[in-house]
Chain A
Amino acid sequence: MEQLSLTERYVKERYRKFSENLQNDQNDLLWPDVARRVARLNSTPSNPAKTVILIQKWSPIVSRADGSFQPEPWEQHVLYGYGVKPEDLQ
């Protein structure tokens, strides 16, 4: 989102909302659908996607002694891995 223009950010806000929900473990039923769509978007007939890996990234905001808050370096973990089937790309 940070890389989008103000207008794009306004129009595409639902993607932020969606990705926020996607990172919730309770919504794991969504992951296969998302992986399939990512595979379709990133496949060509000559170069079909074989595996899709959803990675979650986060950065904790911690309080400092002076009362201010500071974001820590980004961390990440693999949310979901999906082996793409030929029928997923139809």
Chain B
Amino acid sequence: MTPKAWLKAWNTFFFEKRSPLPIALFRIAYGVLVIATLFLLRPDWLTWYGPHAWISLSTMQTIEPGRRLDLFTIIPQTDGWITAFFWIFLSSAILLTAGLFTRINSVIVFLCLVSIQQRNLFITNSGDTFLRVTGFFLMFAPAGAVLSVDRLIRVWRGKGAVAPQQSPWAQRMIQIELALLYFAAFCWKAKGPLWLHGTALYYVYHLDALKRFPIPAWLLRPTILKLGTWSAMALEFSLGVLIWIKKLRYVLLALGLLFHLFLEYSLNVPLFQWDVLSAYILFVDPTDITRAWNWISGGVFARRDKQQSSPENRLLHTDARQ
């Protein structure tokens, strides 16, 4: 491949305009997950982040010296202010989900998310980290271009019946992030003797603190657990590397979906599986999303397409050239 061809492929991948439908759907899933995170944290807002939290702000600053993106360092350390912070955070997440003032709310949600993680790094899991990283790129994405109140307002004001296609670079970065997550997980596991020997899942499924719903006894046999351990590694490698091959993509996404649903059922790792699965949307072709939506809605929108644009239809519709 010549340098010119590389450059062209690079530009096509990151900057050739595409439908913003996947990133808009991702925005909704992302917003719901941030709301769910805050809802699960709700009883412990002050326990983890308040002036008398398990870890004090000064201790966190000692552990993590230097300038950090942490709004807790600039707001007064009182119960009232901390609680207000969380209500603003929650409101912003709801507005982001609805797609009202999408850009500014994506910034607020990102800043608040970074702050609560920086305030207490010791209760943060990989799902939180994934939300934080994807939230960064979401700020730059055309996430409110469709499926949003912002879009509805633009339509009502007569500003464009068809949402323009947009440069997908931010969406691509989130896709790369997801692939990296899997590939990094594979690499870490490949370093661990328990994973290579196939015994890692035995330990995972015998930790009472991690158990959730019961699973059949035959699945806990050493041979099955060994197969499961190696299969998990193979799948993580595939989702990290082979996901970019279009022919394999939907098969891998389906396997990944089953994998995460099984983990969600069997292990108590709140929201992690959903955090990761939310980014699967970005790997689905916009035409397939539209097709699936038409199928789900019983062809209602398909018929309207033919009859031309109603406001609801224009919310979904972008451009025929996907």
A-side residues, CB < 8 A to B, are 1-2, 6, 9-11, 13-18, 21-22, 27, 29-30, 32-34, 37, 40, 61, 67-69, 71
With A10-B268, A33-B54 as known contacts, state yes or no: A18 contacts B123, CB within 8 Å.
yes
- Give the top 4 A-B pairs by smallest Cβ distance, nearest first: A14-B123, A1-B209, A21-B122, A2-B208
Inter-chain contacts of B59 with A (CB < 8 A): 29-30, 32-33
How distant is A60 from chain B, measured CB to nearest CB, in Å? 11
Query: Within the assembled complex, what's the spacing in Å between the Cα atoms of A22 and B62?
Result: 16
Q: Is the CB of A14 within 8 A of B222?
A: no
Which one of B40-48, B96-104, B166-174, B227-235 contacts A?
B40-48
Inter-chain contacts of A30 with B (CB < 8 A): 54-55, 59, 63, 122
How distant is A73 from chain B, measured CB to nearest CB, in Å? 15
Judged by a CB distance under 8 angstroms, whether B203 is at the interface is: yes
Task: Output the nearest chain B residue to A37 by Cβ-Cβ distance.
Answer: B54
Q: Is the CB of B54 within 8 A of A18?
A: yes
Query: Within the assembled complex, what's the spacing in Å between the Cα atoms of A87 and B44?
Result: 24
Judged by a CB distance under 8 angstroms, whether B52 is at the interface is: yes
Inter-chain contacts of B40 with A (CB < 8 A): 10-11
Task: Output the nearest chain A residue to B203 by Cβ-Cβ distance.
Answer: A61
Query: Within the assembled complex, what's the spacing in Å between the Cα atoms of A34 and B56?
Result: 9
Task: Output the nearest chain A residue to B206 by Cβ-Cβ distance.
Answer: A61
B-side residues, CB < 8 A to A, are 40-41, 43-44, 48, 52-56, 59, 62-63, 122-125, 199, 202-203, 206, 208-210, 212-213, 222, 268-270
Q: Is the CB of B52 within 8 A of A9?
A: no
Q: Is the CB of A29 within 8 A of B62?
A: yes
Partner of A17, one of B52, B125, B206, B222: B125
Q: Is the CB of A33 within 8 A of B56?
A: yes
28 contacts between A and B (CB under 8 A): A1-B208, A9-B268, A10-B40, A11-B40, A11-B43, A13-B268, A14-B48, A16-B209, A17-B122, A17-B123, A17-B125, A21-B122, A21-B123, A29-B59, A29-B62, A29-B63, A30-B122, A33-B56, A34-B54, A34-B55, A37-B52, A37-B54, A61-B203, A67-B222, A68-B222, A69-B202, A69-B206, A71-B206
With A10-B40, A21-B122 as known contacts, state yes or no: A2 contacts B55, CB within 8 Å.
no
Inter-chain contacts of A10 with B (CB < 8 A): 40, 268, 270
Task: Output the nearest chain B residue to A40 by Cβ-Cβ distance.
Answer: B52
Q: Is the CB of B122 within 8 A of A22?
A: yes
Inter-chain contacts of A14 with B (CB < 8 A): 41, 44, 48, 123
Task: Output the nearest chain B residue to A1 by Cβ-Cβ distance.
Answer: B209
Inter-chain contacts of A2 with B (CB < 8 A): 208-209
Q: Is the CB of B269 within 8 A of A13?
A: yes
Query: Within the assembled complex, what's the spacing in Å between the Cα atoms of A18 and B40?
Result: 15
Q: Is the CB of B270 within 8 A of A13?
A: yes
How distant is B13 from chain A, measured CB to nearest CB, in Å? 37
How distant is B114 from chain A, measured CB to nearest CB, in Å? 17
Task: Output the nearest chain A residue to B56 by Cβ-Cβ distance.
Answer: A33
Inter-chain contacts of B125 with A (CB < 8 A): 17
Inter-chain contacts of A40 with B (CB < 8 A): 52
Query: Within the assembled complex, what's the spacing in Å between the Cα atoms of A14 and B210?
Result: 12
How distant is A63 from chain B, measured CB to nearest CB, in Å? 8
Task: Output the nearest chain B residue to A19 by Cβ-Cβ distance.
Answer: B209
Task: Output the nearest chain A residue to B207 by Cβ-Cβ distance.
Answer: A61
Query: Within the assembled complex, what's the spacing in Å between the Cα atoms of A14 and B43?
Result: 12
Task: Output the nearest chain B residue to A27 by Cβ-Cβ distance.
Answer: B122
How distant is B291 from chain A, measured CB to nearest CB, in Å? 35
Inter-chain contacts of B41 with A (CB < 8 A): 14
Task: Output the nearest chain A residue to B225 by Cβ-Cβ distance.
Answer: A69
Inter-chain contacts of A17 with B (CB < 8 A): 122-125
Query: Within the assembled complex, what's the spacing in Å between the Cα atoms of A43 and B206?
Result: 36
Query: Within the assembled complex, what's the spacing in Å between the Cα atoms of A59 and B199?
Result: 17
Query: Within the assembled complex, what's the spacing in Å between the Cα atoms of A34 and B269?
Result: 24
